[in-house]
């Protein structure tokens, strides 16, 4: 399954990127992430291994992953594995003056038996993930634009 979403944020890439790349900041706009930890940190960032738990209670899911792409203020990619799927998740930032366009691209490969469920409920699952991306993108936008306006006032 392939899911893509883009959003304009009135902030420079250097102001947006840390909110995506720093897990302590990212959990503020990704409310489904309940717990995260860095397992093995790499000096060049690419290859850094982490674990995170998403969801709540009995609906939680543990995922292990690593950073697969990294270009400061431009791109970060994650490879994630769980018992139900493998995800390649990429965030890219393009700049146009003081506006950043954040594009999110997720390639999800479902494992058995989730792949069977996907055959019957694929459209509904994709719509749900798209809604989640939009919600998280809007939360990221609010945080970044608030930070920019706050720093402008106090700059």
Query: What CATH homologous superfamily does 2-154 map to?
Result: START domain (3.30.530.20)
Tell me the per-residue pLDDT of 87-99, one tens digit each, with 9 for 90 and over. 999 999 999 888 9
Tell me the per-residue pLDDT of 116-140, one tens digit each, with 9 for 90 and over. 988 889 899 999 999 999 999 999 9
Question: Could you tell me which residues come within 8 angstroms of residue 15 by beta carbon, excluding any fewer than 6 positions away?
Answer: 100, 144, 147, 148
Assign 33 a pLDDT band (cuts: 50, 70, 90): very high
The residue extents of the domains of the chain are 2-154
Question: Could you tell me which residues come within 8 angstroms of residue 118 by beta carbon, excluding any fewer than 6 positions away?
Answer: 1, 110, 125
Q: pLDDT at residue 69 above 60?
A: yes
Assign 57 a pLDDT band (cuts: 50, 70, 90): confident
pLDDT at 25: 95
């Amino acid at each position: 399954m392939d899911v893509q979403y883009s959003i304009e944020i009135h902030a420079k890439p250097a102001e947006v990127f840390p909110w995506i790349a720093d897990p302590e900041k990212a959990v503020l706009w990704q409310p489904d992430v309940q717990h995260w930890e860095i397992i093995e940190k790499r000096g060049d960032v690419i290859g850094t291994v982490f674990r995170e738990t998403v969801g709540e209670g009995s609906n939680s899911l543990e995922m292990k992953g690593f950073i697969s792409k990294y270009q400061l203020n431009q791109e970060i990619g994650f490879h994630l594995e769980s018992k139900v799927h493998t995800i390649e998740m990429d965030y890219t930032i393009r700049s146009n003056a003081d506006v950043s366009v954040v594009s999110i691209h997720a390639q999800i490969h479902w494992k058995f038996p989730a792949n069977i469920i996907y055959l019957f409920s694929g459209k509904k699952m994709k719509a749900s993930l798209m809604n989640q991306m939009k919600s998280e993108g809007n939360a990221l936008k609010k945080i970044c634009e608030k930070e920019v306006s706050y720093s402008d006032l106090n700059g």
